[in-house]
Structure 1
Amino acid sequence: MTTPTHTGSAALSLEHALADPYDARLPGGFAQALEADRHAAFPERLCRAALDRGVAEWLIPAECGGELRGIEEAFELCRVLSRRDLTAAIALGSNLLAALPVWLRGSAAQKESVARLLRAGGFVAFALSEREHGADLVAGETTATRVPDTEGEGDGWRIDGEKWLINNTGHAAAATVTARTGRGPRGLTLFLATAPHDGTAWRRLPKVATHGLRGSAIGGLTLTGLRVRGTDAIGRVGSGLETILETFQITRVLVSGLALGALDTCLRHTLAFARDRRLYDAPVHDLEPVARRLIDAFADLLVGETVAAGACRAAHDRPDQLPLQSLCAKYLIPHRAMDAIESLSVVLGARSYLTGQDQLQEAVFEKMRRDCAVTGLFDGSTPVVLGGLTDQLTPLAEARAAGTVRTEGLPALYAPGPPATAPAPLDPERMALDTDEDAVTAGLDHLAALLGGEQPVPALTPARRALLLDLTEHLRTARAALDAEAAALAGDPGQRRGAAAYDLAARYTHLHAAGACAWRWLARHHSPLSPEDAERDGPSAGFLDDGGWLALCLRHLAQQAGTLPAAPVLDEVDRTALDLLNQLYDRNLLFSVTRFPLAERTTHGAG
């Protein structure tokens, strides 16, 4: 298997095929996304344009005959599609969500069936939640009862129940359905069900009106005596909950790509406004409070892509770390993106509420603001995600205290640019349901050892080295304090799902992200770019190499975690970050530490 020439090669191809998002004539244009949103209409043209350009193949793993070789490729596709229209990106992403249980645990026949459906441009729904039970899947009331199979393949099943708040149900040709086949957590089974021609067994419920994603086909299904074959069970009977949790480990990371795409667009439009708008005889961009909001949003993008990249690669190469990484990514990235968008709305002021057809920049921001809010709900709401994290805090602290954390392979997970080797195929047998050691936050320890040692670090000035060491030690101290708090809470079972435990879990995601940033910089330190590669990577290469990127990210995370006060004035790191942000904008590059050229602008428009 060969290594892709660029981590985001599929995403890069799609971005340029969809062309200028400011061209109102194109299906990938902002104007068409806004028009569909105003009428709560499904973004058919953009979805079809993406499918016509081969996106379906990138939802099918290579071992199943498709083009998807790494979860990072799917993440980048989510990011570039969502920067144009989250509604379309989520509709297509829901296809992968519904297909993943089959890719992980399905039979060869099931994989072929789903691949054939996707290649034909069809949609699949992931029918999990129910109106009365929400995220409590174990309490679900949809049942699957054994019945004689008339096709001679053993017993079949009859599925009865209602699924609600499910995307793609308005046009799905098939669904992965969770149904109760027994009692307790081992009593759930996933089935691959195809919509029958007779509408009595599979009835689509009316589309649900939503604040964001107005054009999504979100609704429900009423299944009444739906017959499926015995071979339609995905994996063994009773393994449904385990397969769902394995699936969520991957999709929670992909959801973060949706949030980052939305934030990129909102920051791009806000930056354009701040550069053009004048106040007090100067561009708004030059006002320190405005600059601070721009820089902080940029930092959120840089941190988010680092956390997500490591989690994507871990799915293949360190799956023992994925349960923790996916929870941290799912909480931190959508929340930071939503907070950043709210902060940027202050720069736009009243314009952030405008939706008129002659106010494209403002209307796109307003739509992205509404649509991005839902990324915090997909594949586990905040209480579900933080609850999963609280369960792991004590064993993680104990592993750190015992010095048993294994960090092999971590620099490769976070190295910027394409991976050095092709990712291994996803192997569900290597996946775990929880993580008992955090190799990611151990990046802070490795960074402290380097910065505090006697060996020279040529890329860093003495002042930058001292700043980074101070930030690293501050974060390590905060981690030790959090470990002590987690141990105290563990002694009181009544606090396991209390507000204090959830607060610890939320703070831990910032420390986890700081470890990810440490690994990314260490990977670059140990494998510096050649002058030719640095020239290719453009303006971000120097900011990463000289420690400015790392200082920005670590300080931002410490401030967001509440362990370091906000800087009162902009300093050298801030001003360098703002200059880089403007350079990326001027060169029409994604706001990223990895060079990603956006589609050429062929029309005039802000942003």
Structure 2
Amino acid sequence: MTTVAPVRSAARALEAHLADPYDPALPGSFHRALAADRAAAFPADLCRTVQEWGVAELLIPAAHGGRLRGLEEAFELCRVLARRDLTAAIALGSNLLASLPVWLRGSAGQRAAVARLLRSGGYLSFALSERAHGADLVAGGTTGTRDGDTWHLEGEKYLINNTGHAGAATITARTGSGPRGLTLFLAGLPATPPGADAPGDAPADSPGGGPGWHRLPKVATHGLRGSELGGLALTGLTVHRTDAVGRVGSGLETILETFQLTRVLVAGLALGALDTCLRRTLGFARTRRLYDGPVIALEPVARRLVDAFTDLLVGETLAAGACRAAHDRPGQLPLQSLCAKYLIPHRATGAIESLGVVLGARSYLTDPQQEPVFEKMRRDCAVTGLFDGATPVVLGGLADQLAPLAEARAAGRPDTRGMTALFAPDPDGDTGTAPLDPERMALDTDEDAVAAGLDRLAAVLEGPHPPPGLTAARHAELRTLTGRLRTALAALDAQAIALAADPGQRRTGAAYDLAARYTHLHAAGACAWRWLAHREAAPADPAAGPAGTDPAAGLLADGGWLTLCLRRLAGQAGILPPAPALDGLDAAALTTLNDLYDRNLLFSVTGFPLAGRTTDGVS
């Protein structure tokens, strides 16, 4: 374990560098993002600004000469950039996606070539999916034929990002049969201006190179309209044996390892979009008047705001634990990354749709005078659920693990040592991370130490008297919520084992529904661990008041945050009926949300200052 610089320092610095998102003259403004979206143009100015700021060093792990110290740092960068423009965030994020296989399994020469390309302001593509096979990588039709020390690649890759301007690609090709018959190659693409499709000469610093590339036309999409999303046709592309990433035949394993990391980063994209949409809706609800009062005074409006805020808090908790697990408990990542990938984009998209009801017709406006950022964010965020495995792929992967997880819980096997460290508060921003180590990663797991947080929470709440910092009423509600969530988990385990006994049930709707419900119970465990970790780091003292100056500190310390999150997750999992009328806890959450807004802080348990101004007054 090593001590690293503050996790959020890079995100804070990028946010400050991009400055006010409401200044139309700035590359990082909503005005520029919307103009590019209307023209279906790549946000080149914003990407160039971020690259000149030095993002390349944060796409290169410190172990390989860059400045990226941990997955959580990359997650926060995604979140900050996505709150302005998902198109730019995804383009630069795709650089990390395409380079991660090289950082994990590549040779020293490949790592040096990718680092040169990134530092020159170049782009990479991760060329996996195909028109006829989609996400079924094993069925892919692109082939690699060996000829001595070279391979000849034939096939087509489709619906992949950055194809219009990538200088290199990591590409899968079938070099044998079965799951062990896939190989990843790192190959250079010829220099072609964005939007063009004619091959040219490969850049001198690009890996690989040679004839055989053809860029397919850009694909038109509803969201991310400015993305360079397209395809690559390979016609006898020649690559050297040293261009194979890792061992020949190890491609599928490397891809699955990569997805464990990038699926968590996708959650950062979704949370960035939700932050902007929630901020925009809150500003409207505070200033718009209806029935002789502000819209925010209407209970249905306040409910939607509180629920969206809660979804965001749950999402960042789940993602933060997965980011740290990548370094310190990588054996848990096959489960944690799938849960984060399903639940966070799913809930963020649902929350944005709910907030659209508050905005009404304004949520659909494209008039440039109205700064219609909500409408663009809604379209763009909807795409995040498709990245690195669409919902059926993710739920299928989870469904396969449910029975082994249930059996492990029945045997009392989950190892929870050190779990609070994955969710520990970090007032100074310092955290310890071990370097990413692919040799410690696994492709599946039969233990869920995160969900076991509910058991630890139940033990803390046991007894007739509330622990320090909890009122009797809060203690009683938390005990009830925890008990119902644990009962639901036990019932789900029994259903999972019963379904596993019938092989025909493996890919049924029932199995997928179980997997979706499981993500909510897993997230409840993550919230339990976060609250427990907070108590260990700073035991609650009712006389001391909220710690520090963070608006959310009091809500976290008195158990309100945990109650809010568990209520929401229990309702989404069908354990509780729809939320009743707003109560005191909801009012406290709304006060916290307004306080974060007034101080222009990121909507988070540990918010940090945002550049520019709030959106009050934007009609």
Q: Which residue of 1 aligns with 2:150?
A: 156
SS in structure 1 at match of 2:312: helix
Please give the residue correspondences for 1:555-570 in structure 2 after superposition, counting only pairs within 5 Å: 555-570=567-582
Kindly indicate whether residue 436 of structure 2 is the aligned counterpart of residue 426 of structure 1: yes
Structure 2 residue identity aligned to 1:509: T
Q: Which residue of 1 aligns with 2:174?
A: 180
Q: State the distance in 1 between where 2:57 and 2:545 align.
A: 30
Q: State the distance in 2 between where 1:606 and 1:529 align.
A: 42
SS in structure 2 at match of 1:278: coil
> Conserved in 1, the CA contact under 8 Å of 2:2 and 2:434?
no
> Conserved in 2, the CA contact under 8 Å of 1:537 and 1:594?
no
Q: Which residue of 2 aligns with 1:95?
A: 95
Q: Which residue of 2 aligns with 1:70?
A: 70
Q: State the distance in 2 between where 1:250 and 1:388 align.
A: 15
SS in structure 1 at match of 2:72: helix
Q: State the distance in 2 between where 1:529 and 1:67 align.
A: 34
Q: State the distance in 2 between where 1:426 and 1:262 align.
A: 28
Please give the residue correspondences for 1:389-538 in structure 2 after superposition, counting only pairs within 5 Å: 389-417=398-426, 421-453=431-463, 457-528=467-538, 535-538=547-550
Please give the residue correspondences for 1:134-213 in structure 2 after superposition, counting only pairs within 5 Å: 134-148=134-148, 155-196=149-190, 199=200, 201-213=212-224
Kindly indicate whether residue 379 of structure 2 is the aligned counterpart of residue 370 of structure 1: yes
> Conserved in 2, the CA contact under 8 Å of 1:78 and 1:93?
yes
SS in structure 2 at match of 1:177: strand
Residues 162, 539 of structure 1: alpha-carbon distance in 2 compared, 3 angstrom cutoff: same
Q: State the distance in 2 between where 1:603 and 1:210 align.
A: 29
More displaced stretch, 412-421 vs 95-104: 412-421
Q: State the distance in 1 between where 2:549 and 2:488 align.
A: 34
Q: State the distance in 1 between where 2:343 and 2:158 align.
A: 27
Residues 394, 213 of structure 1: alpha-carbon distance in 2 compared, 3 angstrom cutoff: same
Structure 1 residue identity aligned to 2:157: K
Aligned counterpart in structure 1 of residue 242 of structure 2, from 213, 231, 239: 231
Q: State the distance in 2 between where 1:337 and 1:15 align.
A: 21
SS in structure 1 at match of 2:81: helix
Deviation of the 1:387 alpha carbon:
0.2
Q: State the distance in 2 between where 1:479 and 1:604 align.
A: 43
Q: Which residue of 1 aligns with 2:61?
A: 61
Deviation of the 1:355 alpha carbon:
0.5
Deviation of the 1:422 alpha carbon:
2.1
- Deviation track 1:23-71 (CA, whole Å, cap 9, x = no partner) reads 0000000000000000000000110111111111100000110000000
Q: Which residue of 2 aligns with 1:220?
A: 231
Q: State the distance in 2 between where 1:128 and 1:603 align.
A: 40
Q: Which residue of 2 aligns with 1:272?
A: 283
TM-score (norm 2): 0.94
- Deviation track 1:392-438 (CA, whole Å, cap 9, x = no partner) reads 00010111110111001210101233676420000000000001100
Q: Which residue of 2 aligns with 1:317?
A: 328
Aligned counterpart in structure 1 of residue 255 of structure 2, from 222, 225, 244: 244
SS in structure 2 at match of 1:168: coil
Q: Which residue of 1 aligns with 2:348?
A: 337
Deviation of the 1:600 alpha carbon:
3.4
More displaced stretch, 239-248 vs 531-540: 531-540
More displaced stretch, 332-341 vs 592-601: 592-601
SS in structure 1 at match of 2:281: helix
- Deviation track 1:263-309 (CA, whole Å, cap 9, x = no partner) reads 00000000000000111101000100000000000000000000000
Q: State the distance in 1 between where 2:366 and 2:489 align.
A: 44
Structure 2 residue identity aligned to 1:297: A
> Conserved in 1, the CA contact under 8 Å of 2:283 and 2:614?
no
Q: Which residue of 2 aligns with 1:122?
A: 122
Q: State the distance in 2 between where 1:56 and 1:313 align.
A: 22
Deviation of the 1:319 alpha carbon:
0.4
SS in structure 2 at match of 1:279: coil
Structure 2 residue identity aligned to 1:422: G
More displaced stretch, 539-548 vs 594-603: 594-603
5+ long unaligned stretches in structure 1: 149-154
Deviation of the 1:568 alpha carbon:
2.0
Q: State the distance in 2 between where 1:604 and 1:458 align.
A: 39
Q: State the distance in 1 between where 2:160 and 2:376 align.
A: 21
Structure 2 residue identity aligned to 1:387: G
Deviation of the 1:453 alpha carbon:
3.7
- Deviation track 1:96-126 (CA, whole Å, cap 9, x = no partner) reads 0000000000001100110110000000000
Residues 589, 207 of structure 1: alpha-carbon distance in 2 compared, 3 angstrom cutoff: same
Q: State the distance in 1 between where 2:487 and 2:477 align.
A: 15
> Conserved in 2, the CA contact under 8 Å of 1:416 and 1:593?
no
- Deviation track 1:323-376 (CA, whole Å, cap 9, x = no partner) reads 00000000000000000000000001111110101111xx10000000000000
5+ long unaligned stretches in structure 2: 192-198, 201-210
Deviation of the 1:4 alpha carbon:
3.8
- Deviation track 1:547-583 (CA, whole Å, cap 9, x = no partner) reads 0000000000000111101222001111100000000
Q: Which residue of 2 aligns with 1:24?
A: 24
Structure 2 residue identity aligned to 1:223: L
Q: State the distance in 2 between where 1:407 and 1:602 align.
A: 42
Q: Which residue of 1 aligns with 2:205?
A: none
Q: State the distance in 2 between where 1:114 and 1:462 align.
A: 58
SS in structure 1 at match of 2:368: coil
Deviation of the 1:6 alpha carbon:
2.6
Q: State the distance in 2 between where 1:4 and 1:598 align.
A: 23
More displaced stretch, 413-422 vs 173-182: 413-422
> Conserved in 1, the CA contact under 8 Å of 2:263 and 2:388?
yes
Q: Which residue of 2 aligns with 1:152?
A: none
> Conserved in 1, the CA contact under 8 Å of 2:287 and 2:617?
no
Q: Which residue of 2 aligns with 1:304?
A: 315
Structure 2 residue identity aligned to 1:401: A
